[in-house]
Amino acid sequence: MSDTPAILCNGIKKIYGTGDTQVHALRGVDLEVHPGELLMLVGPSGCGKTTLISIIAGILDQTEGNCSLFGQDLRQLPSTDRVRFRGKHIGFVFQAFNLIPTLTVAENTAIPLLINGENRERALARAAECLKEVGLESKIDALPSQLSGGQQQRVAIARALVHDPKLVVCDEPTSALDHQTGTKVMEILKGLAMDGKRSLVIVTHDARIFEFADRIAHMDDGHIERVEARAAKDN
Ligand SMILES: Nc1ncnc2c1ncn2[C@@H]1O[C@H](COP(=O)(O)OP(=O)(O)O)[C@@H](O)[C@H]1O
Ligand SMILES: [Mg+2]
């Protein structure tokens, strides 16, 4: 069971649009990510990074090829089971923190649990635990607008973890942050992968955070050109 890859992609192609306006966003991508691994996906703007992680996370359908998470091909599940699988096993962190402005920090963090049907009190208690892990216990009752960008991104990370997913997918999580705040956010993300079970895929332009990767997949024009193994920094 532990040999089952967290992510296994074979021959993934994605074409957007039809006819003259077709865009070949992915031209045949193979990728394997192991449990406990932190993989970074880097490459120029428009090379297909967001498309690839959206397919991996099951929020976008590929045109061709197969992708399995923990041995399960999401496309073979009926849509309700697919939504449930995603809600249970995957956490997302986006570039724009996507916090709901009228909800408190704790309520924002609890959203994945509430969607999964958890009782509100337990969901808020678990949210408080996760906020403590990212150093925001004092901001539990604040609104997102009362936080700095780095603090908002830490809330987004707490929200991505609150349901204890096996896979966390991040799209340029540090690009809106200054270097020091970005490093702090990366240290938190790296700590998550170090528990040995959880896998992280992080899309980034930010060469300053490469040191946190176990491997770096370099993309260009819809391909993974090479995968570089790194001696990852120990916390
Ligand atoms: N919804 C869409 N419709 C049409 N083209 C798209 C869509 N999303 C992305 N693309 C195109 O697909 C290519 C890859 O985009 P994307 O995956 O967002 O790249 P990256 O995240 O590396 O910047 C780009 O040429 C982009 O313009
Ligand atoms: Mg992108």
pLDDT tens digit string along 122-133?
A: 999 999 999 998
Residue 181: which pLDDT band, with cuts at 50, 70 and 90?
A: confident
Cα–Cα distance, 77 to 71 (Å, whole number): 12
Cα–Cα distance, 125 to 83 (Å, whole number): 24
Q: What is the number of domains present in the chain?
A: 1
Whether residue 1 is contained in a domain is answered as no
**Residue 75 is part of a domain; what is its CATH number?**
3.40.50.300
- Give residue 203 CA to ligand 1 midpoint distance, Å: 14
Whether residue 235 is contained in a domain is answered as no
Q: Is the CB of 209 under 6 A from ligand 1?
A: no
pLDDT for 67 beyond 80: yes
The string over 34-61, giving b where at least 16 C-beta atoms fall within 10 Å of a residue's C-beta and e elsewhere, is: bbbbbbbbbbeeebbbbbbbbbbbbeee
Average pLDDT along the chain? 91
**pLDDT, position 113:** 95
CA distances from 104 to 116, 143, 159, 212 (A): 19, 5, 12, 31
Cα–Cα distance, 190 to 182 (Å, whole number): 12
The atom number, within ligand 1, closest to the CA of 222 reads 14
Its pTM stands at: 0.90
pLDDT for 232 beyond 70: no
Residue 195: which pLDDT band, with cuts at 50, 70 and 90?
A: low
Using a pLDDT cut of 70, give the percent of the chain over it.
Answer: 95
Tens digits of residue pLDDT in 20-62: 999 999 999 999 999 989 999 999 999 999 999 999 998 899 9
Structure tokens given for 175: 């690009």
Whether residue 13 is contained in a domain is answered as yes
Structural domain harbouring 117: 7-229
Using a pLDDT cut of 90, give the percent of the chain over it.
Answer: 69
Q: Would you report the helix, strand and coil content of the chain in percent, each value rounded to 5?
A: 40, 25, 35
Whether residue 204 is contained in a domain is answered as yes
Q: Is the CB of 47 under 6 A from ligand 1?
A: yes
Whether residue 119 is contained in a domain is answered as yes
Q: Is the CB of 46 under 6 A from ligand 1?
A: yes
**pLDDT, position 165:** 93
- Give residue 79 CA to ligand 1 midpoint distance, Å: 24
**pLDDT, position 235:** 45
**pLDDT, position 3:** 79
Tens digits of residue pLDDT in 71-119: 999 989 998 999 899 999 999 998 778 899 999 999 999 999 999 899 9
Q: Is the CB of 17 under 6 A from ligand 1?
A: yes
